[in-house]
Amino acid sequence: MPPDKVHARLREVAAPAMKGSLPTVVLAGCGYGAIDALRALKGQARVIAINPHPYIVNSGMSTRLLSGRFSLDLVRIPLLEHIQANGAQFLQGRVTHIHPQAQTLTLEGAGGIQTLAYDYLLVNVGRELRAIDGMQHAFAIRPAEQLVAAQTWIRQCWQRAAQGDPTPSLLTFGVVGGGCTGTELMGELYDLCREMSAATGIPLARARLLLIHGQAHLAEGFSERFRQEVEREIRRLGVEIWAERRVKAFGPQQVWLEDGSELVAQTRLWAGGLQAPAWLRSCGLPLGPTGSLLVDECLRVQGAERILALGDCADFVWGSRLLPKIGVYAV
Ligand SMILES: Cc1cc2nc3c(=O)[nH]c(=O)nc-3n(C[C@H](O)[C@H](O)[C@H](O)COP(=O)(O)OP(=O)(O)OC[C@H]3O[C@@H](n4cnc5c(N)ncnc54)[C@H](O)[C@@H]3O)c2cc1C
């Protein structure tokens, strides 16, 4: 028998036995590691991929939704084609609990609440938005749809101003958070305002753009030279920077600060940071310094040999350094 036929025959004979013995691997959350994981596990396991949507959002691109430079279609990476091509099963929903002893997890989806068993679990759920009081009065960086809604709202503010709407602070725009995301968001806001200034004939100088943040410098954590350049560039755009001012809540038209002062602004944007998912805390798994799952150099959750975690929901200590929560490390 020619070798290729032998191989085909062997696969046929082995298939039923292998099928029975394939481990079930559940991907809890399809973040930046999901597509590579699906490829690597093809034919090696029965894979179930869980995610709230049939796509992943490329967060690094999402700030550009505010200016309209990018559309939602562009920042969403479709998942289904990768899941199907690699023979995996997709369950749409959210993991709300992991039971390491029982090797099960709780899933909340369209079909209600269900329990799912796994042989191995790969946790890739990212982080969630840090919230403050009155979040319903601000546009947040997540979900990405909020930035599209903010763009529409900001365009309307300019158009209303052009029609003589006397609402105070109609052209006052406050961005809260001066990390990379908030700073980037301010750049996009400036571009949108410049476009609307040209479209409506209202001088850009009539708009007030404020960047409020709790730290002494923008883009804290980067080199001093880089931070200075970022600050210089942001000020060059005419943006007011309120440094070392912490925001405690949003009101229907206000940003309230911890020092008792307030800013009245018809547009309020929140880029105040992300945090480890709260539900991870009650799963009895070891957590690292940021509250994410503590993993070893092979991404195994320490002390839980059948659970792996990667990306933002993992605390990966490299030597004495905790790897930053950024996309390049998640990939
Ligand atoms: C606005 C913004 C801009 C950024 N810009 C950059 C940049 O320019 N460069 C860079 O390197 N990094 C950037 N980052 C950071 C980068 O996006 C993250 O580090 C990266 O997305 C982390 O990948 P991840 O796979 O851990 O999680 P995510 O990309 O967040 O993916 C997690 C997935 O899990 C799903 N999920 C969440 N909870 C559950 C649950 N309970 N059950 C099931 N599924 C769940 C989510 O819907 C999502 O699909 C940015 C982040 C933000 C917010």
CA atoms within 13 A on the CB side of 112: 2
What is the share, in percent, of the chain residues with pLDDT greater than 70?
94
CA dist list (Å): 63 to 59, 140, 144, 227, 230: 8, 11, 8, 19, 17
46 CA distance to ligand 1 centroid (A)?
A: 25
Query: CB of 150 within 8 A of CB of 267?
Result: yes
Cα(84)–Cα(99) distance, integer angstroms: 28
219 CA distance to ligand 1 centroid (A)?
A: 19
C-alpha gyration radius of the chain: 24
55 CA distance to ligand 1 centroid (A)?
A: 12
Residue of the CA atom closest to atom 8 of ligand 1: 60
327 lines ligand 1 (CB under 6 A): yes
Which are the contacts of 182, defined by CB distance < 8 A and separation ≥ 6?
Answer: 175, 176, 211, 213, 218, 271, 272
Fold of 3-127+276-330: FAD/NAD(P)-binding domain (3.50.50)
pLDDT 10s digits, 171-203: 999 999 999 999 999 999 999 999 999 999 999
Ligand 1, residue 107: give the atom nearest the CA: 42
pLDDT 10s digits, 244-295: 999 999 999 999 999 999 999 999 999 999 999 999 999 999 999 999 999 9
The domain made up of 135-273 is a member of CATH 3.90.76.10 = no
The one-letter amino acid at 160: R
Burial of 314 (0-12, 13-18, 19+ CB in 10 A): buried
Cα(95)–Cα(128) distance, integer angstroms: 13
**Sorting pLDDT into bands at 50, 70 and 90, what band is 4?**
low
Pocket test for ligand 1, best of 326, 328, 329, 331 (most atoms within 8 A of CB): 326
Ranges of CATH 3.50.50.60 domains, the chain: 3-127+276-330, 135-273
pLDDT 10s digits, 106-162: 999 988 999 999 999 999 999 999 999 999 999 999 999 999 999 999 999 999 999
Backbone CA torsion sign across 24, 28, 33, 38: positive
The 3-state DSSP class for residue 20 equals: helix
Ligand 1, residue 56: give the atom nearest the CA: 49
